Each structure stands twice: as C-alpha cells, then as structure tokens.
Structure 1
Amino acid sequence: MSTGPARQAIKGIDTSGGRPVEYRFAHARNGNRHLVVVFANIYAPDDYGWATGVFDSLRANILWIRDRFEGQNTYYLCHEMDFGVERSVIGLISGVMTSLGLTPQDVTVWGSSKGGSAALYFGLRYGFRNIVASVPQLRIGSFVREVYPDVGRHMLGETMPDDNVAALDAILPDLLAAGANPDAHLYLVSSPQDEQYSTQVEPFLGLFERYPNFNFLFSESPFITGHGKVTQRNTPPLLGIAYLLVEGIAPRLGVTGHGYEQPEADRTGIEMFLKSTSVVQSSFAAPVVTAPAAHDLLPAGAVRLTGWAPGAVRISIWENGKYLASAPVGADGAWAWERDQRWGTGEHRVRLFAVDASGYQSERTDVQFTVSEHVMPAPSGHGSAQAPLVRTPRAHDQVRGDAVGFAGVAPGAAQVGFRLNGALLGASPVGPDGGWVWDAGRIWPHGLYTVEVFAVDETGAESPAAIVPFTVMNAPVGSSAPAY
C-alpha cells in the first residue's frame, strides 16, 4: 500500500470500435505491473465508478470506463440488443492492456451493482485473473425491465420483449454454468439485507462452487439497510483485497510471489495510446472566432460571438475556468452565441473549444474584448455579415509561388473579396452551398503575406475580414511583392 497525493487522471475517448468509449486512466505508482479496470454502478457520478479518490493509494494502473452510450447506461453490454457496446469496451481494455505490455493474468476487473455485473461478465468471458463483484445482478434483463425501465428500453428495445429479457437474463448464468475462466480469483460480495439478494444472487450461488478460487463475502451487519449499503460497509475489506491482488497475492491459504514492480518501466506504449485517444485532439482544428474582433470595445447588452468550426457539433464556452454555455454548430460549420444576461464592464477573455459527435475536443481559442456602458450598440442590421471561413491556405502555411489559391465557405454571402495592404486583389462569387475558390492567376514572389478575406452580402454589406498570414517560399529571395 502506498500513500501520496491524489492520482492524476488522464481523460480519453477510444473510437477504434463501433462505439466511442470514454475513459479515465491513472499511471501505476513505482512501475507496478498490474491494471485495475473499474466499472460504474447506476448512480456513479458522471457514470464513472469508484472515481472519488478511494483508489488514490492503490499502486496499480487504473482504468475507469464510463457507462454512457447513446445517452444512457448499458451495463457495458448493449444498446437495443446491439452488443457493439461490449465489443468496443473490450477493445479499449485490450488496447490499454497491450500498450502496458500486460496479459489478462495481470488484470483485476472491479465493480459494484451494475458495475459488479459487468466485472463478472468481462472477467469470465475474457479470462481476466481477478474478479471483484459487489452486489451484482445476475438476471440483468429482468432487473432492468422491472427496476430501471429507462435503462431497460435502452438495452432491450422500446417494447422490452420477453425474448430479449431472457437473453440478457442468461448471459451470466450461462458463463458460470459453462465454467468460463475456471482459474479466476472470484470475490463476490452480498448480504441478506440486500433486497436483491434472494432473486439476483442466492439462486445462482451453486454455480460458483465449481470455481476453486471463489470467495464469498457475506455481510450480515445490522447497519446494512439495503442494496446500496452493502458495498459501503464492505469498502475497507474490499480495498484490502485490492491491495493484495495488485501485489500478486490472492487472499486465500496459498500465497504467490508479489511486487511486480519495474520502477524504470518503458511507458512508450501506454503514452502513445493515451495520446492517440486523448479527449483533446491536435488534428481537430480550434474554432475560428469571426466576431468580436480581438480587443473590441463593445456595449454591455450587445455582445454576440460568432465563428466557424467545421466538423464540430457544438462549441463549449468558458471564462476564467467557469463554464458559460454551449452553442450548436450548423451543418455548414457556422455557430453563434449571445449571453442571456448583461456582461460586466471591463475586460473579458473568453475561451472556446469545439466538440465533435464522438466527444473529442479541439485545441482552445481565446478571444479578448472590453465591455463598456458608454458604447452605443450598432444600428440594427449593421455588421450582420459574417466573416468567411478560409480553409486554404491555413494561417502560417508555407506555399509555392505558383500554387497560391484561396478556398473556403461563406454561407449567405454573394461574393468574397481579397485585400493586400489595403489594395483590392480580386473577388470570387459564392456558390449556392456557400463554397468559393479564388486564384490570382499569377506567380507570387517570395515573402510573407497577410491577406484580408471578406464577405459581401446581396445588400452590399461587408463582413469583418478573416486575416490569413502565409509565406511564399520558392521564388528567388529578394523578389518584391506583387504590386496589385
């Protein structure tokens, strides 16, 4: 057992399977060669189980998996009887295990209630060495239909047909009856004071007898008053079991070697996995803010943020570490947001990031502006045109002089114009889908350029400009910029 500061948890999303799987991961202390996989109960905060610091002193690698698929719990198994959820979850576990250089013999699966059922299922089916299941449900289909019908409809289908209920009821008893993973170290926790014991645990205890390493923690404390209290009263002995399992000791009469430490263990594999599945993806472009412009002076009651975020479904908006709101992103990538209350006077720095359909986040974008009670709002309709989104060239790109072309989108605009050093370079019509392209039709000499790209609507109103700095690299050094 090790003590120390709270564990740093790294968040990620694995999309290698059919369903995105959200997770949290904490590195082992002192190079411990073990992985604990934690499944969540029905009331776990944010659908992560045992994630309140109770495992901070555990020396193993810890993988918490979130049970939230298509907006609801699934027992990590299925949505409308599609077991793609299960396949995606085991894909995540396998990816983490492999990247750590571990085998199923180095893994403990852990959970209580719904999470205990998941620990039993994944442990038995996929051959993990240690299984800790506190107050699980073994007849899952009947339980969700009768006790949690919202979860039941999500897992079984809208009408929760009897055949689907029977199929889910059978998956755990069938694994036990078949003697799946016979060498597993099984730790089952229950109590006669648990209202689910007589229907969900007791009828199946005989199936565990064929497991030589089965351990039954049966608590009859008078302080246990229901299902939720069983795990609470047994947390100290459960954590004691966890510490022993991490050390390679199965708490029975026999004792095995322990330690499994590699203080100088190579973390390359797991670091690469965590980076590739990180919630924040560097390949996902940060949102573009077209208004307000940096350091704008704005009236308190008329602050409107607009911009572009192609590929995103929403923009998350924060100030000083405090969440303000989310703004939906349209199919064309455009977004806009106005606060439903007045802004305080003074300087504001707002931070935004884009979120895609899988939950991945972009890099951050900051916009700074100042609010004053002495600034009058612009006349209605003035400045309503939105700056175009320039997709090529990207800011600070290096391009060849004979390959300088501009492309992007400007929904609702009639045309897009281009300026360099205040001089108009040209214009391009905007198609029905909002797309536009433009090429000056000449070679650009070597140098650094900053082009302003602006949209014009049918009334002639001009939008704020999108600023595009880029460098032309291949023309002879010393050539002058084009005199347009």
Structure 2
Amino acid sequence: MSPSAAKGRTVISGIDASGAYPVEYRFAHARGGNRHLTVVFANIDAPDDYGWATGVLDNLRSNILWIRDRFDGGNTYYLCRDGDFGVEQSVIGLVRRVMNALGLTPADVTLWGSSKGGSAALYFGLRHGFRNIVASVPQLRIGSFVRDMYPRTGRHMLGETMPEDMVRRLDTVLTDLLASEANPAAHLYLVSSPQDEQFATQIEPYLGLLQRYPNFNFLYSESPHITGHGKVTQRNTPPLLGIAGLLVEGISPRLGFTRHGYEEPDADRSGITGFLAATSVVQDWLAAPVVTAPSLHDPQPLNGAALTGRAPGAVRVSIWQNGVYLASAPVGPDGDWAWRREEGWSTGEHTVRLFAVDRNGIQSARTDVTFTTSDRITAPPVPETTEPERDFDTAGARVTLLPPLPHTPEPGQQLLAAGIRFTGASNGATRIGFRRNGTLLGSCPVAHDGRWLWNAEGEWAPGPHTVEIVAANEAGEASPPATVTFDVMSLSAH
C-alpha cells in the first residue's frame, strides 16, 4: 500500500481498476471502531482533484473515502466522459466495494461535497439510495453550467461539440431525481446563500422539489462576509463539520429516533484490509525495474553516470534519492529505459531508488541501486535512449507539427506542490516533451486517439510556473511550443 499522513491521520492511496474507468482514491480507517463511512467528492478547484483532503475532516471518527475526479486527465462531475456514463458506474462500483468490505449498508454512509462535489453527493445519494447527503452550494443544472462557465470541463464531459441533447441530459439528471422523489428517506443537508451568484439559477428554482423530502434541512447563510460562491462553504465549515460529526455517530440532527455509540472496536477488518491491498497503487504484478548499469563495483564519472535498464509493461521509471524526486525516465516499446543526470553527481557512494509506473498509475515494488562516482573517471559516450532530448528541441528540428493542445492544468489554476498532472491532445505526434526554463522535465507517449497524459513527479516550489509543451513524431520533427501557466499554493486549502 501507499500510506501518507494528513495532519496525523494515516491515509492510504489506491486505484480501483475493476470498472471501465480506473478510479483513484484515498482512504482513512475509522477511529474507535466507528461503523460509518464518509465519502468525499471534490469541488472544481480542489487541489489535486481531491476534495476536503487537507486535514479538515481529520477529527471525524468515521472511515473516510476521498474519490478523485480526474478521468482521462479532466473533471467529470464523477458522471461522464465524452458522454459515456461509465464514469458513474466506475465510481459507484468503488463506493459499493468499500462499503461491502467494511460490512456496511447504504444507511451507514454519508456522501459529502461542495460545489461540483455537492452535485455529485446529491446525485449519487438520491440515485443509489444512500441515507445521508451533505451538499454545499451544488449545481443542479450541470449541463448548461459546465457549457457556459467551464467549457473545458464541458468538452471533456460531453465531447468537443458539447451537443445540445447531452447538455439537456445533464441539466435534468438531478432535477428528474428530485421530481420523482427518489430515495425519499434520505437525510438531505443543503447549504446555500443569496450572496452565491449561482443561487438564483442553480438552487432557488428547485427548493420546492427539495422541500418534498421530509428530512430536508436547508442551511441558508446570509452572512455579510460571504462575497460569492466560493465563500459560502468556507463560512459554513464549522456547522457542516458539526453535522458530519453527528451523522457518523449515528445521530440525525432532527427530532425523533437517534442512535448513540455507533462503534464496534473489535469488528473484523479483514474485508477492507484485503480490498485496500488489492487496489493499492503498488502492485506485485507490475515487475520492479531492472537496472543493467551502473554496477556497484564499477566507478562512474561525476558528470556522465548513466542509469539504464528494463521495465516491461511500464510507461516510465520514477527515480529518487534520499526521498527526493530526481527524474522520470520514459520506457520504450521494447521495455528499455535510460537516464543521465544533467547536473552531475558528487564524489562518493550513491543509492538511488526506482519504481516502474504503468499507464494507469499503478506502481511496482522498489528497486535500489548503489554505485560510486569519481572525478578520475572519464565519461563514456552518451547511450542511445528511447527518447533523445533533441526530439523536443525546436531550434534543431524541422517544425512541421501543430503545437499540442493542453487541457490541464488550466490557465492560472492553483495546484498543490506534488502530484501535478499535464493532459492534452496532439494530432500527428508520437511523444510530448515538457520543458521549464529550457530544461527537459520529462515526456510521455501520445495515444492512438491523440490524447496524452504526463504525471510530473516530485514537488514544485510555491508560486507561478510556466511550462513549455512540445510535440514530436518518429521522424524527429517537432512542433512550436505551447505554454501552460499555473500557480503552486504555499498553503493548504480544501
């Protein structure tokens, strides 16, 4: 597994690839044997496309499942990609598998989200029969909203032309559920405000439908400090967390029957343990990379030590030293990879850790290689690699391709320092290269349909960043660069 800590709570990362679309998730075990599951959906600007994942939910006693809204490199409202609702089926499949592994029922689950995530919580809760739904400032007419406000997301969900019939379909997926009074026993907690610019079109026209639900609770915030859509949730975070705390203890904050002490410290955890192991990002079936050079007993030059090896089934090899990311070496079709450190090494012994990564983000076990470097050794000729840097040097190549079309990051988007992912499309290219300040950061292959995706491993410094993206083909012809500018946040935000 791949555990990480979020303000002291151990978080396990995984990928459920059993559906049509691989679903990336993070999971935290319950405290004190609590028998509840909170499922968290991400808002449109959530760092790394995980919502409320910066420790704000850390005091909840329930199991927590964060689901990432990134499918084929873009946001989908957890619903559809190019009009294909296989995304929804993949997401609900993950939720059910986690719920079943914990031995829970839909009555033991709270769905949680704000904005885009609130729409997802409301949709999945009503359509799939979950008891508790906490939705802050959701959009109820999703189709026209993404078409008009987030056209890049709209094209990703509906197709490049965003056909009107698909816009109408997304506009009604939630309102039709409300009109049919789907899941009438659900406990609904909806947060909105008249200061939210979306209130008049996305919430107010449908309050009558929501009020048909006997367990509908409306948190209507009129604080003068709310200045727009993004501020509503921030101003209402304490009461939202209070509601969540009651729900996970089996208490619905309404008059009537309540259940206390919803805990089972000695519950069998073998089901969820097995699921997390089976869907961990680190899998034994992907072979660890083999290092063919250098050898421990073969001293290397300071400025020419090259790592070479094989990693069949992988698309790249991630290279680290002392917990610090160094580079990502592309793996060729024959499984070979090679990498040379541009800035050179210090004199002495070095231990480098590597792991293979496949197209879906699955990682292999780790491989360690130790070698020594000396200033008395002359560098050998540069080995032939699967991806020469000259392929992305527009100054030395024929420029015949159109610049690639980046999809993400979006211009000016705020991102966390780690886990930044670049996606886009390019016609006629076979590889995409990424440069910053003239230095090649890495590259990725182009799929048969022209799409590409590259995970930039390691951490980026806070502040603005500009990355040049260049397309290249097998003939060595290169495109003019496209540029992507984004900001890396210095402080965590949910």
Shorter-chain TM band? 0.7 to 0.9
- Alpha-carbon spacing, 1:361–1:40, altered in 2? closer, same or farther (3 Å): same
Letter in 1 for 2:29: H
Aligned twin of 2:80: 78
Aligned partners of 2:333 and 2:209: how far apart in 1? 54
Q: CA deviation at 1:344?
A: 2.5
Q: Please give the secondary structure, in 1, of the residue aligned with 2:268.
A: coil
1:122 aligns with 2:124: yes
Letter in 2 for 1:177: A
Taking structure 2 as the reference length, what is the TM-score of the superposition?
0.75
Indicate conservation of the 8 Å contact 1:59/1:246, yes or no.
yes
Q: CA deviation at 1:295?
A: 4.6
Aligned twin of 1:53: 55
Report the count of equivalent residues: 381
> Which stretches of structure 1, 4 residues or more, deviate above 6 A after TM superposition?
383-386
Aligned partners of 2:385 and 2:53: how far apart in 1? 47
Aligned partners of 2:198 and 2:211: how far apart in 1? 21
Aligned twin of 1:191: 193
Aligned twin of 1:141: 143
Q: Please give the secondary structure, in 2, of the residue aligned with 1:323.
A: strand
Q: Please give the secondary structure, in 2, of the residue aligned with 1:296.
A: coil
Aligned twin of 2:46: 44
For residues 228-276 of structure 1, the C-alpha deviation after alignment (integer angstroms, 9 at most, x for no partner) is 1100000000000000000111111224112221111110100010111
**1:20-419 → structure 2 map (5 Å cutoff):** 20-378=22-380, 380=381
Q: Please give the secondary structure, in 2, of the residue aligned with 1:325.
A: strand
Q: CA deviation at 1:347?
A: 2.0
Letter in 2 for 1:293: S
Indicate conservation of the 8 Å contact 1:40/1:50, yes or no.
yes
Aligned partners of 2:111 and 2:218: how far apart in 1? 16
Aligned partners of 1:70 and 1:198: how far apart in 2? 33
Aligned partners of 1:13 and 1:25: how far apart in 2? 11
Aligned partners of 2:361 and 2:34: how far apart in 1? 31
Indicate conservation of the 8 Å contact 1:295/1:368, yes or no.
no
Letter in 2 for 1:212: P
Indicate conservation of the 8 Å contact 1:296/1:368, yes or no.
no
Letter in 1 for 2:245: Y
Letter in 2 for 1:21: V
The structure showing larger relative contact order (alpha-carbon pairs under 8 Å, at least 6 residues apart) is 2
Letter in 1 for 2:12: I
Letter in 1 for 2:263: E
Q: CA deviation at 1:100?
A: 0.5
Q: CA deviation at 1:340?
A: 2.6
For residues 270-309 of structure 1, the C-alpha deviation after alignment (integer angstroms, 9 at most, x for no partner) is 0010111011012221000111123531111112111111
Indicate conservation of the 8 Å contact 1:32/1:59, yes or no.
yes
- Alpha-carbon spacing, 1:324–1:5, altered in 2? closer, same or farther (3 Å): closer
For the aligned residue pairs, the C-alpha RMSD in angstroms reads: 1.6
Q: CA deviation at 1:130?
A: 0.1
Indicate conservation of the 8 Å contact 1:99/1:273, yes or no.
yes
Larger radius of gyration: 1
